[in-house]
Homo-oligomer: A and B are copies of this chain.
């Protein structure tokens, strides 16, 4: 339990997840579908985010809903918003995906 928020934020995929659940909660599956990786990969990243206190989980039937914990994120909000408004992070994710494809071919 209880991970380091800055370590959680070090990963661009987790930052992108955080952006997805910033304004409204979403189910794990809903989140997973927006990425090009396996469900477990997303589930693991959600666990890290939860352990660091950056997202909250709510169980609804067989689903689990996630949302950003805006309170915990307030002192980091300035930075994240800048980053997102410049779309730096999505570019980084794309670049890394490209990089992977390239190294495999």
Task: Please state if A6 and B4 are interface contacts (CB–CB under 8 Å).
Answer: no
Q: Does A56 contact B (CB under 8 A)?
A: no
> Considering residues A5, A10, A15, A82, which has the most beta carbons from chain B within 10 angstroms of its beta carbon?
A10
Checking B6, B74, B76, B79 against A10 with a beta-carbon cut-off of 8 angstroms, the contacting residue is B6
Sorting the interface of chain A by its residue count into under 10, 10 to 19, 20 to 34 or 35 or more gives 10 to 19
Instruction: Specify which chain B residues have a CB less than 8 angstroms from the CB of A15 in the assembled complex.
Output: 6
Instruction: Specify which chain B residues have a CB less than 8 angstroms from the CB of A79 in the assembled complex.
Output: 5-6, 75-76, 79
Provide the bound-state CA to CA distance between A36 and B15, in Å. 33
Nearest-CB distance from A47 to chain B (Å)?
Answer: 17
Provide the bound-state CA to CA distance between A7 and B12, in Å. 9
Q: Does A58 contact B (CB under 8 A)?
A: no
Q: Does A9 contact B (CB under 8 A)?
A: yes
Which residues from chain A sit less than 8 Å from chain B, CB to CB? Answer: 4-7, 9-10, 12, 15, 74-76, 78-79, 82, 92
